Structures are given as C-alpha cells and as structure tokens.
Amino acid sequence: MSNAVCFAYAPEKLPADSRLPDRVELFEILKSNDLRPFVTLGGESAFTNDHINPSRLDGDVDPITSQLNRNELGLIVNRLDRSIKHDSLSNPDVPPMINENAVRKIGYHKERAAREILSPLGLSMPTALITSSDDIDRFVQEHDYDQYFLKPRHGSFSAGTYKMGKAALAKFYSDNPNMFDKHIIQPAYDFSRPFPRSIKSLTRSTNEEFDRLNVAGNTKELRMYSFVSPGKVDLYPAARVLQPDAASRKTVSAWFFVDPESIPQTLIEQATDVTTYIASITGSYAMYGAVDFGYGTADSQLPDWKIIELNILAPGMISRSENRFVATKLKTLLSNQIRATIDQVAKIQ
C-alpha cells in the first residue's frame, strides 16, 4: 500500500483558511510518519483513469508537482465542502477515504444524525423534522416545554435558528408555509450555565480568562475532537464561548483548550461511542469529526451535559496562533490516524 496521502479540495478552494491551518507544519508531521502528503484542488476532476493531478501551492517545501499514478495513492482525506462522489471519480477502484460519502451525509442531515446515531445510543435530545402542522402538534404534546428551537435541518454556526413558544410555532408556519421541511425542532435548552468547576483550562496562563468567561449568560460548548482509525479512537477536548460582537454585529468565538484529565468520563465514553458507531454503520476504515456538548437545562430542570450536534462535514483544526501545543497535538493525532489506516488496509490486502 502506498504512503501517498491526498488532501482533496474543491476547485480554487485554497487550504489557507481555517479548514487546514498551518498546512506546512502538518505536512512535516506527516512526512516524519513516513507519509507523502499532497493537495488537489480539482475535486473529482483531479482523478483521471490512471493518474492524479496534484496542485502546487505557495509555501510548498517539498511539493509533489508531477502526476502520480493511481496505484501510488494510499488514502484520500476529504476536504471538500461536500461528499466526494465515488461515481464521479474516473476510476471506481477508490482507495480508503477519511470522511467518505456515507459519513458526511449523516453529518449533513441533523435529523438523520439524531435518529440514526444519537437515538440508538440513547444520547439524542428530543428532535423531529417539521414537515407539517401535525408534526408540531405531536412534538409539543410529547415534549412539553415553554420554549423551542427551530434549527435548519442542514447547516451550522446557529445561522437561521429561531426560538419561540408553542403559540408562536403554529403562527410561524401559518405565515411561512414555504418553511415546512426546512427545520428540526428541539426543546430550547439554555447552554449559558457555567461549566462545572471541575473543567479546567489547559494552562495556567489561560485560567483567569477562562474563569472570567465561564459564567452564566455566555453560551458555551465543549468540543471533543475525535480521530477514529482501525481499532483505535483518539480524543481531544476544547471549549468555546460565544459572545456577541457589537462592532461586527456577529457572534464571535473564544476558544479555550481544556485539560483532558478534567473531562468527565461519561463525555469521553459518549464521544467514543458516537464516532465509532458512525464508522461502523457506514463501513468506514477511518473518520474524524467532533462531538459538541453543552451544559445546560430546559425550563426548571437541573443542568446536565447534552450533545448539541455532530461536526463531521468540516471539523477545522486550530492554528498555532491559537495554541501551539494543541495545534501540534491535533495534527499529530491526524497523522497517526492516517498511518494506522494505511497500515491496516495493507494488512487486509
């Protein structure tokens, strides 16, 4: 099995943004693991019947600039903003892929992720797709809360999310009949409760700022990065605090990297169960993503940890400018995942 690793991007989608920060550093880590990384920017068109067309990028230290034979490729890392379409590749004999088509489809559909992944594991918040007024009536009868969230069935970053009470739900769809089949409905959990004091920042230098922002009123989430390779799962935690920015009128994120030893064992187990289950039901050798947890409550319930969503489509790694140690750690985990996957496939073949 070849050690060549293709990071596949869409046409003109340069990996200089947050989707793959510090690419040169990542590639050096991969090379130290006896891997040959390169980038393609042509989507499926970069793969012809018998070869692959790498893309040269600014900052390449030791680039692969010539064509590679298809049999030289060991693994594809899918960095498109969508699934790689196997039937669009010119050669059906596709090598192993991280976040292949079946994996990304689950992440793209929030209701499907809740129904097919989280519910069988007993981890889903009450969730339903609204296709008619009957769906609204049924959901509020089964799940009686004061407030509900309507979230786009696709998408992220809280864009297009509405919060409203029971009476407002019916009026919303009466006034906007074209919105049926566009949203999922969930209880409006308040994830602005402070994290338990047992959750600790990774370094002393960030403890003061973490404690300042870890207060009631700031929406927070705990992100568990997950790298699933044959027979192994590596996890790493980070915390995000969302704050409104008056100047830009947008919500900005403050990231804090959490001491892995301070994470409750139940969250480690849940993140492991979720990602390994996705890999198993999709028949994937490897996948990476993130499980986002919130600590909060709906109505008068006691606060508890809940899985907010799965980030499978584009789980961006962090940059060295945010935290050099964690950035290097995540890149090393990705490198180890790729190495383990290629080695396992070679054994099978």
The per-residue pLDDT for 117 is 95
Q: Indicate the CATH number for domain 191-316.
A: 3.30.470
pLDDT at 304 over 70: yes
The per-residue pLDDT for 64 is 66
The Cα–Cα gap between 329 and 347 comes to 27
Instruction: Tell me which of 33-47, 56-70, 108-122, 327-341 is least confident.
Output: 56-70
Point out which residues pair with 184 in neighbouring strands: 129, 151
**Where do the CATH 3.30.1490.20 domains begin and end in the chain?**
126-187
Instruction: Tell me which of 45-49, 133-137, 160-164, 313-317 is least confident.
Output: 313-317
pLDDT at 18 over 50: no
Instruction: Tell me which of 16-25, 122-131, 176-185 is least confident.
Output: 16-25
Q: What is the pLDDT of residues 27-44, one digit of tens each?
A: 889 999 999 998 888 888
Pick among 3.60.10.10, 1.10.10.10, 3.30.1490.20, 1.10.530.10: CATH of 126-187: 3.30.1490.20
The per-residue pLDDT for 246 is 60
The per-residue pLDDT for 335 is 93
Give the residue-averaged pLDDT of 34-58: 84
Give the residue-averaged pLDDT of 339-345: 90
Chain mean pLDDT for the chain: 84
Find out whether 161 and 149 touch, Cβ atoms under 8 Å.
Answer: yes
pLDDT at 4 over 60: yes
**Contacts of 126 by beta carbon, 8 Å cutoff, 6+ apart:** 139, 142, 143, 186, 187
CB burial readout 300-315, b (16+ within 10 A) else e: eeebebbbbbbbbbbb
**Contacts of 169 by beta carbon, 8 Å cutoff, 6+ apart:** 136, 140, 148, 150, 185
**Where do the CATH 3.30.470 domains begin and end in the chain?**
191-316
pLDDT at 158 over 70: no
Whether the predicted model's global pTM rises above the 0.85 cut: yes
Q: What is the pLDDT of residues 170-223, one digit of tens each?
A: 888 888 888 888 899 999 999 999 999 899 888 877 888 888 888 888 889 999
The per-residue pLDDT for 255 is 79
Between 135 and 86, name the one with better pLDDT: 135
Q: Which amino acid is at 96?
A: P
